[in-house]
Structure 1
Amino acid sequence: MNNTTHFAFFDEGSKKEIRRTTLKAVAIPGYQVPFASREMPIARGWGTGGLQLTLSLIGKEDTLKVIDQGADESVNAVSIKKLVQQTTGVEVTDHTEAASLIQSRHRIPEVPLTEEQILVLQVPTPEPLRDVEASEYVTKRLHAEEEYSGAWLLLFEQIMKYGKTATGADHPVYVNGRYVMAPSPIPRFDNPKMHISKALTLLGAGREKKIYAVPPYTDVTSLAFEDYPFAVETFAGHACHLCGATDVFLDELVDEATGIAYYQCNDTSYCIDRLNSQEQVEVEHHHA
């Protein structure tokens, strides 16, 4: 890295502005704070909001992990990892436990996070009321008045049409008993992980120029009616065909040769670590 290159790509003024916005977001859980989203060397909609948060917060002692829909090796994850590493020189890892800063698209890792970690989620659409109200001015007023009947109406329409809530991802949540928040397009399976999480969760939307946050140990409740309680995706009767896990989010895959469906851990590093630990146990048992 030459001396004219800014650490973590941004100049110090840009990083300070994003940090100030982040502090306000942490102080008001679930509230969308506008910020001056910068131009990035990746297209808007491909994680610029999350990347700006990562670049403004990362330090020389940090260890970075980047995942895209559970995978560490996807094009999006590898590209972001490469940009951050080339402009900071920090270590990168695939192991959730070893990372101090985790940037993710569409998933929260299966391994519970700790107080020493920060989770950054990429967000395409931060406004949970956008499907019922196109005006930004109106949605800001609705949040101020705590008027969330539009969000409840969307869930009610799903129940009337499908007999249950049908949000495949991005199911809205109440944060700290005040703001309704879009949790990024994570599956419903991951919503409960945000509740009283030990880690700080930051959400960045570069295209929409918004940053919001869930501080550690914050109450996060998924929107649901009393007679139609919130439920996560179920994989009862199925297990990962590689590591045998049953209590994680699984992907359904189909063998092209046989046409037979099978299941596999969506979180690839979790699956690999579980396999390695099983192999270690077998080796120790063999030696014993």
Structure 2
Amino acid sequence: MSVTPQSLKTLSRAWEPMSYGFLDASAKREMRRKMIKAVAVPGCQMPYASREVPMARGWGTGGLQVSLTLIRPNMRIKVIDQGADDSVNAASIRHFLARVSGAPTTLDTLQADLIQSRHRIPEEKLNEDQILVLQVPNPEPLRPVQPNMSVARQMHADADYGRMWLQLYEQIVRSGRVMQGASYPSMVNGRHVMTPSPIPRWDVPKLNMAQHLTILSAGREKRIFAVPPYTRVEPLVFDDVPYKVEEHHDLTCSRSGAKGFFMNEIPQEDGSSAYELSDSGFGVKHIQQGIGDAVTLGKTWYENGEMVE
């Protein structure tokens, strides 16, 4: 039987300037495997070989790699940076994701399929069909109490979180309250303590039993972990010292008139302060509603500053 000779050209694919979604197939394959492992063991950090992307380490490379792996041409993308859609970082990442995937972009939380965020979770509730990707600068919650990462990982394996409880206790003794603000350590599924990225305390309860999948990725530290849908996320608290979020329930947005949501403080020339909704897309929808435009406001995690059960 004769065998038809084949040249290298016939066996190889046509040259392309880059793979779909920028990352090569090997990188995406590894990211998918590690994301599946992270979902299977909620809150547990999984190492991965963080690839180079066209932005500096520490500016969202971990979240970007997750988004590039998950993105499809028909997925609508939303990117926010501390609540803002129009910051330089958010706009640059959104433009890059759209350029390498052909996927449409949106500023509306309700319309987005994939939301990449730095330090905030949108005020409108996410549903089961949406994926939230959080950028994480420091994924290790034990680092403040145990700088040796080898020892810290052994402590995770043993579920030894006594030093974290001691740290919180010392804050109460010295200051009368827990001083931990962003990155509040939280127990996931009753087993692993994670840092929920530098989101404010206001946002941590949004992860508890949420309908959506949350993937947290630290490109510089090469760690990825996840909170699957309908998973318990409980901030570390003592029975007699309840968890408290920022007291923004009495604050009103100076631009949109919305009240009872997380606000940014804007110093004024006279020494006073004005407040604006941190979630800029949500604020724009309130403004549009105020001038009579037809917009849809989704259900929110908070009402009048109180978490909705």
Q: For the superposition of Structure 1 and Structure 2, which TM-score range results when normalised by the shorter chain?
A: over 0.9
Shift of 1:281: 6.9
Match of 1:277 in 2: 289
Q: 1:114-125, aligned counterparts within 5 Å?
A: 114-125=127-138
How has the CA–CA distance of structure 1 residues 281 and 273 changed in structure 2, closer, same or farther, with 3 Å as cutoff? closer
Structure 1 segment 49-68 matched on structure 2, within 5 A: 49-68=62-81
Structure 1, residues 62-118: CA drift from partner, whole Å, max 9, x if none?
Answer: 010000001011111111112111111111111101100000000000010010100
Partner of 1:126, secondary structure, is: coil
The one-letter code sitting in structure 1 at the alignment partner of 2:283 is: C
SS of residue in 2 equivalent to 1:165? coil
Q: Aligned residue for 1:15?
A: 28
| Cα root mean square deviation, aligned | 1.3
Match of 1:79 in 2: 92
Distance 1:75 1:233 in 2: 27
CA distance in 1 between partners of 2:47 and 2:251 (Å): 43
* Bigger helix share: 1
Counterpart in the other structure of 1:95: 108
The reply to whether residue 159 of structure 1 matches residue 172 of structure 2 is yes
**Structure 1 residue 169 and structure 2 residue 182: aligned?**
yes
Quote the offset at 1:152 in angstroms: 0.9
Which of 224, 239, 251 lines up with 1:238 in the alignment? 251
The residue that corresponds to 1:268 in the other structure is 280
Q: 2:155 aligns with which of 139, 142, 163?
A: 142
Alpha-carbon distance between aligned partners in 2 of 1:8 and 1:88, rounded to the nearest angstrom: 5
Q: Distance in 2 between matches of 1:39 and 1:156?
A: 41
Task: Give, in angstroms, the shift of residue 209 of structure 1.
Answer: 0.4
1:225 match: 238
2:285 counterpart SS class: helix
* Pairwise CA distance, 1:4: 2.9
Shift in CA distance, 217/280, structure 1 to aligned 2, threshold 3 Å: same
Q: Which has the larger radius of gyration?
A: 2
Instruction: Tell me the SS of whatever aligns to 2:291.
Output: helix
Q: Deviations over 1:142-185 (max 9, x none)?
A: 01111001111121121122110111200010100110010000
Letter in 2 for 1:51: L
- 1:38-69 deviations in whole A, cap 9, x for unaligned? 11211111111000000011111101000000
Q: Which of 93, 105, 118 is residue 105 of structure 1 equivalent to?
A: 118
Per the alignment, in what secondary structure is the counterpart of residue 216 of structure 2? strand
Give the letter for the 2:80 counterpart. I
Any idea what SS the aligned residue of 2:292 has? helix
Residue aligned with 1:119, SS = strand
TM-score, normalised with respect to structure 1: 0.94
TM-score (norm 2): 0.88
Query: What are structure 2's unaligned runs of at least 5 residues?
Result: 1-14, 295-309
Cα displacement (A) at 1:135: 1.5
- Paired positions, count: 280
CA distance in 2, matches of 1:248, 1:11: 41
Following TM superposition, by how much is the alpha carbon of 1:12 offset from its aligned partner in structure 2, in angstroms?
A: 1.1
Partner of 2:220: 207
What is the distance in 2 between the residues matched to 1:107 and 1:212? 17
CA distance in 2, matches of 1:76, 1:230: 32
Letter in 1 for 2:168: L
Residues of 2 paired with 1:214 and 1:224: CA distance?
Answer: 20
Q: Which amino acid aligns with 2:264?
A: D
Q: CA deviation at 1:259?
A: 2.8
Instruction: Using the aligned pairs only, state the percent identity.
Output: 49
| Letter matched to residue 251 of structure 1 | N
Matches within 5 A, 1:27-66: 27-66=40-79
Shift of 1:124: 0.5
Q: CA–CA distance in 2 between the matches of 1:216 and 1:181?
A: 16
Partner of 1:286: none
